[in-house]
């Protein structure tokens, strides 16, 4: 008897500055899903937040042509892990029609409203399995300010930083600038300015002067109400991919050689000229160190499924600093996360299979939790 196919919803787009990156990741995943193993439903989310479903949703979002595409919803009901379509039956009335049952959702909603725990909360309420970290791991991994506090509490080295509120910038920019420049009084620049909750280098600036700093702060504040400022380090950028749930494994380490001053959005996705060196040309003991720290950081924030862990290797001192844990990394066939696993013996299509298996394992483990208190 033929084994039934796993019903996978691939979710992409989203309400984030990383919307376009998400479409790139989704296209690679859809190409890799074996139709003999999986029954696939495309779920696209517009910049406005509207959900769309259909066989050509990805192309529709790419071209902004939504003809013959239905609006859809996922109900926060664990008894209905199904996708519903909204259908107009009159000018004043809409009805819900079931489109597809889902066994697992493979979300590549990079950035806010997708990678930060918000969508994971909906998946949890719906009772559907999903690829990647849960609410806590996603939220902490996404928030660069809180993440650094957790790393410090776990004795994992991070670069000196501070967090500024957008309201502080608007109230007294000069006072904020003075505080930031006191972060490293002997050498206040360069500094990196980042939105606390965003990825793919969106809104990140490298600042060499007070004028640069003002411009960088204003740009980052467009994307978040909280802004992180870090001491600039003359560093090599080393990355490690981690895979697993309770017993995660680390890939070989890779190195990014950015085509620009740092690994910006343009260097990642537009000019295509940044080099990825796999394995990274670093001493064996350093490679072992970053792989060990990568797993430690992954477990510290309760990651699941996957994460790419990024490091700064100080060229001047040889120190290793953890930069971030990206719980939903870029997932094109040319992205660092899958390329590191391919170099470690796990090709792209097998990696996709394994992530779906891990999602379903995590769901089975979650279902063991008692939801009622029974007093003996």
Instruction: Average the pLDDT over 18-31 and give the result.
Output: 93
pLDDT over 90 at 262, yes or no: no
Residue 3 reports pLDDT greater than 70: no
Name, in order, each residue with C-beta under 8 angstroms of 314's C-beta and a sequence gap of 6 or more: 233, 234, 235, 320, 321
Write out pLDDT tens, residues 225-238.
999 999 999 999 99
Alpha helices in the chain (DSSP H): 19-32, 57-63, 118-126, 135-142, 144-153, 166-171, 173-181, 210-220, 265-269, 284-300, 336-343, 348-366
State the fold for domain 6-130: Rossmann fold (3.40.50)
Least confident of 62-71, 151-160, 257-266, 306-315: 257-266
Domain 161-231 has CATH 3.40.50.1370: no
Give the DSSP H/E element, type plus range, for residue 43: strand 38-45
Q: What is the pLDDT of residue 329?
A: 94
Mean pLDDT of the chain, nearest integer: 90
Q: Is the pLDDT of residue 261 over 70?
A: no
Instruction: List pLDDT tens digits, range 159-200.
Output: 999 999 999 999 999 999 999 999 988 889 999 999 998 765
Note the pLDDT of residue 263: 46
CATH hierarchy code of domain 141-157+234-364: 3.30.470.20
pLDDT at 88: 78
Q: What is the pLDDT of residue 68?
A: 65
Reading the block at residue 131, the tokens are 């690829």
**Residue ranges matching CATH 3.30.1490.20 in the chain:** 161-231
184 versus 355: the higher-pLDDT residue is 355
Q: Six-digit token pair at 40?
A: 């696939």
| pLDDT > 90 in the chain, percent | 72
Of 21-30, 269-278, 352-361, the one with minimum mean pLDDT is 269-278
Report pLDDT for 274: 67
Average pLDDT over residues 87-98: 83
Q: How far is CA 241 from CA 11, 138, 299, 337, in A?
A: 22, 16, 13, 5
205-207 β-sheet, strand order? 161-165, 226-231, 191-195, 205-207
Dump pLDDT digits (tens) for 202-215: 789 999 999 999 99
What would the DSSP string read from start to end of 307-372?
EEEEEEEETTT--EEEEEEESS---STTSHHHHHHHHTT--HHHHHHHHHHHHHHHHHHHTTS--S
pLDDT computed for residue 2 by the predictor: 47
Q: Give the C-alpha distances (Å, rounded to integers) separating 172 from 154, 175, 217, 227.
A: 34, 6, 13, 15
């Amino acid at each position: 008897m033929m084994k039934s196919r796993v019903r996978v919803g691939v979710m992409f787009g989203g309400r984030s500055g990383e919307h376009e990156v998400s479409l790139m990741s989704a296209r690679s995943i859809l190409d890799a899903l074996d139709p003999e193993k999986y029954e696939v439903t495309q779920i696209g989310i517009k910049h406005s937040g509207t959900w769309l479903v259909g066989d050509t949703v990805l192309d529709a979002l790419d071209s902004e042509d939504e003809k013959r595409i239905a609006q859809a919803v996922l109900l926060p009901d664990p008894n209905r892990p199904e996708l519903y379509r909204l259908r107009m039956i009159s000018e004043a009335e809409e009805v819900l029609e079931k489109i597809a049952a889902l066994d697992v959702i493979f979300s590549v909603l990079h950035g806010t409203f997708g990678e930060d725990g918000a969508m994971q909360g909906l998946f949890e309420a719906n009772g559907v399995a999903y690829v990647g970290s849960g609410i806590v791991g996603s939220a902490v991994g996404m928030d660069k300010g809180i993440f650094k506090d957790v790393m410090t509490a776990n004795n994992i080295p991070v670069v000196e930083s501070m967090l500024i509120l957008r309201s502080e910038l608007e109230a007294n920019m000069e006072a904020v600038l003075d505080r930031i420049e006191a972060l490293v009084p002997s050498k206040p620049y360069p500094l990196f300015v980042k939105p606390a909750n965003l990825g793919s280098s969106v809104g990140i600036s490298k600042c060499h002067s007070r004028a640069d700093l003002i411009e960088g702060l204003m740009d980052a504040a467009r994307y978040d109400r909280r802004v992180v400022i870090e001491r600039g380090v003359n560093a090599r950028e080393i990355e490690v991919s981690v895979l697993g749930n309770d017993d995660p494994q680390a890939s070989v380490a890779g190195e990014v050689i950015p085509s620009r001053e740092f690994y910006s959005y343009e260097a990642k996705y537009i000019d295509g000229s940044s080099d990825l060196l796999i394995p990274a040309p670093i001493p064996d003991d350093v490679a072992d160190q970053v792989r060990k720290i990568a797993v430690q950081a992954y477990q510290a924030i309760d990651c699941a499924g996957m994460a790419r862990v990024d490091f700064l290797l100080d060229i001047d001192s040889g120190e290793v600093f953890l930069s971030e844990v990206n719980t939903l990394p870029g997932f094109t066939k040319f992205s660092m996360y899958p390329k590191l696993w391919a170099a470690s013996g796990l090709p792209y299509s097998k990696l996709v299979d394994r992530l779906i298996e891990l999602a379903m394992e995590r769901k089975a483990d979650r279902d063991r939790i008692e939801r009622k208190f029974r007093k003996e």
